[in-house]
Amino acid sequence: MSTLTMTEAGAALPAPPPQRGRKAGLDQDSLFAVAAFAGPALLLFAAFIVLPLLLALGATFTNHRLMSPEPTQFVGLENYRRLLSVDVVTVDALRGNAGAALRDEDGLRFPTWRQVRLAHPELAGYREAFHLRVGERRLVLAATDPQFYRSLINTFLFALLVLPLQCGSALGMALLVNQKIRGRIFFRTVYFAPVVTSMVVASIVWSIMLNTDRGLVNEVLRALSGDPNTGPDWLGDSLFALPAIAVMSAWQGMGFQMLVFLAGLQSIPHEQYEAAILMGANAWQRFVHVTLPGLRNTIVFVLVSTALLAFGLFTQVDVMTGGGPLDSTTTVVYHSVRTGFREQDIGYGSTIALVFFGLVLALSTLQRLVAAKGAAKGAAK
């Protein structure tokens, strides 16, 4: 049966072109020449991208440590168990003798995590990651690595903050510098300058600008509000630190998305705008019915590439906050580097890195699906 299929497939293939003397050289290059041209770069890809990926996958099943006297052991799924184990427990508020819930100045009083764990022996090794208050109860998300869940939430939160800010402003600025107006090249350069500034330098300059007492940002806030005491502790307050990093990151990266949008805008045929004007469309209608549909693929590309960068958030956190305050700026990549490199736990750090890669792959697949759907739609028209 299988031989038959093979013959059929073989018959379906076009016959190989006849070799004719010296002309054969045009059809196939010598293996030596191909190896000489393609070999070096392919070897480097294999050694420094493919091999590390495979090593990462392998390391997730071991307790491999950098510079450890003890031999590496196979630990099965232990790293994954440690990373992903979660449990949700309901904790009742503390009650007095009369049965009424106890309160203090912060509201309801709850038992400490130590007390909760003593009451639930199955929670040994678990720590509290988050809690949510429901009436006089608390829903507590407990995990063996609560920092991982916090970093996962922070990473998504950061992407949610940065995506609309960065992509929206980038589109706005692309529309601005797309106008036929003097000085647009100059402004395009100004908007793009932060992109070539290194993330480390940008983080340092912003750290100083965001200084609570003397920084530029709070000085401006004070001058505008007239209140000499205003101005939050941007990087030292767990409420403001992540949004501050998001604004700074959007500032640094926006110029790139602006250029991509600009190219997208310039590829929309001019006739479409002329036709819209003939039909009496105003500027807003032209934007909604000509510009946005024309930018469809560009928008998908910009959103996905910005999200990928946002998921990789590391440098800003490392320079500006070190993951704090209270883990409010710890991200997945930061957590991975902290355990894998600073604590030299290669196995566990690789496990976190692979979870991050899963996010990246999911996003890229999503982009492909959306692009393919768009292409199918275009073909159907």
Partner 1 sequence: MNQFLRKGALLAAMAGAGVLFAAPLLFMVLSSFKPEAAIFSGLAHWSSYVPSADWSFDHYRAIFDKSDLPGFLLNSTIVSACIVVGGILLNSMLAFALCRMRWRGRQAVLAFVVGLMIVPLEVIAIPLLSLVARLPWPGFENGTLVMHTGWFNSLHVQIIPFLANAFCVFLFYQFFKDIPPELDEAAKMDGAGPWTLFFRIILPNSGPVIATAAIVLFIAAWNQYLWPIMVVQGEMARPVQPGIQQFFGRSESWGQIMAYATVVTLPVLAVFLAFQRQFVASVAGAGIKG
In the complex with partner 1, which residue's Cβ is closer, 131 or 219? Answer: 219
**Comparison of 330 and 350: residue with beta carbon closer to partner 1:** 350
Q: Is 4 or 32 the residue whose CB approaches partner 1 more closely? A: 32
Whether 126 contacts 142, CB under 8 Å: yes
In this complex, which beta carbon is closest to partner 1, that of residue 37 or of residue 74?
A: 37
- Least distance to partner 1, CB of residue 205, Å: 5
Nearer to partner 1, 170 or 241 (CB): 170
Residue 322 Rama label (left phi>0; alpha psi -120 to 50; beta): left
Q: What is 17-83 written as a DSSP string? A: PPP-GGGHHHHS--HHHHHHHHHHHHHHHIIIIIHHHHHHHHHTTB---TT-SSPP-B-TTHHHHHH
User: Which distant-in-sequence residues (6+ apart) come within 8 Å of 325 by Cβ?
Assistant: 236, 237, 238, 241
CB of 35 to partner 1, least distance (A): 9
Q: Return the ∠ at Cα 359 (arms to 357 and 362), rounded to 5°.
A: 110
3-state secondary structure of 120: coil
For partner 1, the closer CB: 64 or 138? 64
Q: Quickly tell me which residue has 């440590």 as its tokens.
A: 65
Min separation Cβ 241 and partner 1, Å: 17
Q: How far is the CB of 226 from partner 1 (least distance, A)?
A: 11
Q: Which is nearer to partner 1, 144 or 331 (CB)?
A: 331
**Are 143 and 127 a contacting pair, CB within 8 Å?**
yes
Are the C-beta atoms of residues 89 and 123 closer than 8 Å to each other?
yes
CB count in 10 Å sphere of residue 119? 11
Minimum distance, C-beta of residue 74 to partner 1, in the bound complex (Å)? 16
| Shortest distance, position 116 Cβ to partner 1, whole Å | 34
- Report the nearest approach of partner 1 to the CB of residue 247 (Å): 11
Contact at 8 Å (CB) between 146 and 128? yes
Give the H or E element holding residue 375. helix 346-380
| Minimal distance, residue 372 CB to partner 1, in Å | 15
**Closest CB to partner 1 among residues 90, 225:** 225
Would you give the distance in Å from CA 200 to the centre of its chain?
18
CB 242 within 8 A of CB 329: yes
